């Protein structure tokens, strides 16, 4: 999947409305959601396996971080 400016804008709008964004990019699984404090949490997983609650499994987490910029910044933060 190519991340176009249009997709970044759509994903950014979703984040600004409090939703979680999930997408695949270069074989990795991205999960981005609003932080409880400030900004957005960006997690990258090597596999899309989820637990019984629908959450990505921590054992597949390969990187993550907090982006305190805009929603669009959060999407491009670790691409």
pLDDT digits (tens, 9 = 90+) for 2-59: 788 899 999 999 999 999 999 999 999 999 999 999 999 999 999 999 999 999 999 9
**Beta strand 21-25 with 61-67: parallel, antiparallel or unpaired?**
unpaired
Q: Whole-prediction pTM value? A: 0.91
Query: How many other CB atoms sit within 10 Å of the CB of residue 62?
Result: 11
Alpha-carbon distance of 32 to 22, in angstroms, equals: 7
């Amino acid at each position: 999947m190519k991340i176009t400016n249009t997709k970044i804008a759509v994903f950014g709008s979703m984040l600004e409305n409090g939703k979680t964004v999930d997408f695949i990019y270069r074989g990795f699984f991205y999960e981005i959601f609003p932080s409880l404090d400030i900004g957005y949490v960006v997690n990258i997983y090597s596999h899309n396996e989820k637990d019984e609650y629908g959450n990505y499994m921590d054992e597949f987490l390969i990187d993550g971080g907090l982006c305190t910029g805009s929603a669009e910044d959060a999407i491009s933060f670790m691409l």
